[in-house]
Amino acid sequence: MPIQVTCSGCKATFNVSDKYAGRQGPCPKCKAVISIPKLEAAKKVEEVKIAAPEEAVGGAKTSTGRPVLKPIERRDAKLSPVVAGGVVGVLVVMFLAAWLAGPALLAPAPLVRPEEKSDPALASAYSMQRWTSFTLRTVGLVIVGLPIVWAGYLVMRDDELDPFRGRSLLIRSLICFTVYATLWGAYAFIPTDVTASGYAWLYLAPPFFIIGFLAAYYCFELDVTSSAFHYIAFVVLTLMVGAAAGLTMPWSDKEKYRPSLAPEKPIEFYDEFGKKRQMQNEEGTAPPEAAATPST
């Protein structure tokens, strides 16, 4: 009786005469040494048992008499209503918090006049407000951006695949968010006159988009389309939250600032006799009576 042998090296299967039972020899294909089982062991055939289905759907059977089996239940097939409601609630809270905290996020108006820059008190207050604004914006980006990355994965992931959970999802979200936040930081170093040009974005946008796409693709194992939309959704939502806070948008050529720390220097007006007249009005121009020449 021939003995069936499987090579442990190349996984090839072939029959060996029973006279070689219990011996060793080279594989005909890869020359790896294989052990041929003894004849008594080769005759023992392991019984393979096929388990009958435990349950059928209500005992129903097909036209051929086979039971209708219950489908395999997936642990997480879709975005549950509870999670979807939580995502919407988080976004609403984000926009409300951004609207309330908007004035604190604005940078202070720069000191322009030489006497303002040379004033130690004004320079110190300006520096403090500048770093406070930067810190608050960074913290705000973390508070807003990390949930957006997490929620984007829950919405755009493939329902047929087992989702990431717990620590694995947290680490992947942190890595992806770090890449996204770094791209926003890199944008801040681009000169304003370059970003204001529409043609400049023909060569500026592709590197940002490719890096963001790769981050979502490798962190969350999304498909190509979902990876692209994940980064686009992050950019759009962070811009919308920034708009709710009153921050300057990337396409704007005019920066928004807090009120200036330096007191506004009034413009003084004098008549033809050198007498000081009324100070400037709210528009910063001379009032009509200041420009008029007194009658003699």
Q: Is the pLDDT of residue 210 over 80?
A: yes
**How many Cα atoms occupy the beta-carbon half-sphere of 19 within 13 Å?**
0
Cα–Cα distance between 235 and 166 in angstroms, integer? 25
The model's pLDDT over 244-269, given as tens digits with 9 standing for 90+, comes to: 888 887 777 677 877 766 666 555 55
- Mean pLDDT for 176-191 is 89
**How many Cα atoms occupy the beta-carbon half-sphere of 290 within 13 Å?**
16
Q: What is the phi/psi pair of residue 159, to 5°? A: -65, -20
The helix (H) or strand (E) run that includes residue 235 is: helix 224-245
The model's pLDDT over 93-132, given as tens digits with 9 standing for 90+, comes to: 888 888 888 888 888 888 777 777 787 888 888 888 888 8
